[in-house]
Amino acid sequence: MLIPREHASRTWLWLSPIVAIALTLLAGAVLFALMGTSPLNGLHIFMIEPLSSMRGWTELALKATPLILCGVGLAVCFRANVWNIGAEGQLIAGAIAGGGIALLATADTPRVWFGFVLLAAAAGGALWASITAWLRDRFHANEILTSLMLVYVAQQLLSWLVQGPWRDPLGYGFPQTELFAGAARAPLLLEGTRLNIGSVLALLAAFAIWILLARTVIGYQLKVIGLAPIAARYAGFSSRRSLWIALLISGSLAGVAGGLEVVGPIGQLTSSISPGYGFAAIIVAFVGRLHPLGIVLASLIMALFYIGGELAQSRLGLPSALTGVFQGLLLFFLLACDTFVNHRVQFRRGVPT
C-alpha cells in the first residue's frame, strides 16, 4: 500500500519530469517495435530528425509558442486552485475575435493593425473565460465541466462562421475565410521560415507571469489561496477576486495564442485552427511544475512531439495518433513518478490465522 511521505524530496520533485520523459521515450521505443519499426530509427525520426536543420528549429519554436502562452496562463489558474480545462476553447475564441479584426484590414491598412488584432484576440479569450468565472462565481458551477463544455461551443461557433457569414466567396466552397491582408499578419523573424514575432511575445509573457507570481502581492495571494484557502480567508484574501484574475489572465493568454495562430502560420480562419494546443498545455503546465521557465522547456518537448509525429507519419507511414499517444504516456509517467515522490510503498505482513 502507499503511505504519504512526511516530507517529499524537492530534488526528486524537479527530477520527476525528466524521469517521466525518459520513461516516455523508453515506452515509445517499445511501441515502435510493436508496430514493426526499428526503435532506434523511430526515435531518431521522432526526436532527432526535427532538430537537424535550422528550419526544424524554427518550426519547433513556432509550435511551442501557443503551448507557452496557454501553459503559463493555466499555471496561474492551477496555482490559485482554479481548474481551467478550457484553454482550447479560449484559444478558439481568441482566434475568432482576432480573425474578425484581421478581416477588416485592406492593402492600405497601416502595420499597426496587427496590434489591434492581438488586443482583440486577448479580449476574445478573456471574454470566453469570463463565462466560466461568472458561472462559478454566481452559481458555484464546477469550472472543470463548464470550461470543458465551452470548448465545444467555441468549435461550433467557429465552424458556423467559416461555413456561413465569413466564408470566402472565392474559396470554392471550402470552410475558410479569405486570406488576411499583410497589415494583419504577424511579422516574420527570419525570412524563408514561418517563425514570427509570436515566439518573442510568448517568452515575454512567460517572463511577465514569473514576475506576477514571484514578485507581486497578487501572485502571492493566488498562491496562498491555492495552497491554504482557510489561511487565505483568515488573512482577508478574496477567493472571488482571485478566481476572476486567474481566469481572465489565462483566457487572454490563450486568446493571444489563437490570434497568433490565425494571423501567423495559417493566415486565415479555417474550421480547424488547433491540433489541441489548449489540452496539451495542461500537460505542459504540470511537466513544467507550474513554473514559467519549466513551462517553456516543457513546451519545447511537447512541440517536438508534434513535429516528430508528423515526420513519423510521412516517413514511416505510422498513424497520426502517435503524437497523442506520446502525450498520454508523458502524462501517465509524470503522475506515476509524482505518486512515488509523495508516497512510499509499504508491504503488509501476513496476518496469522
Q: Find the mean pLDDT for residues 102-110.
A: 94
Using a 10 angstrom Cβ sphere, with 0-12 exposed, 13-18 middle and 19 or more buried, the burial of residue 236 is exposed
Average the pLDDT over each of 9-18, 56-65, 86-95, 191-200 and give the range with the smallest value: 9-18
pTM: 0.94
Domain 2-345: which CATH number of 1.10.357, 1.10.10, 2.40.50, 1.10.3470 = 1.10.3470
Write down the pLDDT at residue 171.
85
Write down the pLDDT at residue 352.
52
Q: Report the C-alpha dihedral over residues 312, 314, 320, 322, rounded to 10 degrees.
A: 0
pLDDT at 348 over 80: no
Residues 226-241 pLDDT 10s: 988 888 888 888 899 9
CB atoms within 10 A of CB 198: 26
Write down the pLDDT at residue 230.
86
Write down the pLDDT at residue 4.
84
Question: Percentage of the chain with pLDDT > 90?
Answer: 81
C-alpha cell at 109: 491598412
Average pLDDT, the chain: 93
Distance CA 269, CA 176 (A): 6
Write down the pLDDT at residue 8.
78
Distance CA 200, CA 321 (A): 30
pLDDT at 353 over 60: no
Write down the pLDDT at residue 349.
63
Q: Find the mean pLDDT for residues 172-183.
A: 93
- Give 104's DSSP letter: T
Write down the pLDDT at residue 143.
95
- Exposed e or buried b per residue across 83-122, where buried means at least 16 C-beta atoms within 10 angstroms of its C-beta: bbbbbbbbbbbbbbbbbbbbbebeeebeeebbebbbbbbb
CB 293 within 8 A of CB 83: no
Taken in order 147, 268, 284, 205, the sign of the CA dihedral is negative
Q: Find the mean pLDDT for residues 24-51.
A: 92
Q: Which of residues 310 and 5 earns the better pLDDT score? A: 310
Query: Closest Cα to residue 184, out of 297, 101, 124, 301?
Result: 101
Q: Report the C-alpha dihedral over residues 312, 317, 318, 320, rounded to 10 degrees.
A: 80
Residues 284-335 pLDDT 10s: 999 999 999 999 999 999 999 999 999 999 888 888 889 999 999 999 999 9
C-alpha cell at 90: 479560449
Q: Give the pLDDT band of residue 13 (cuts 50, 70, 90).
A: confident
Q: Find the mean pLDDT for residues 253-281.
A: 95
Cell numbers 514559467 correspond to: 292
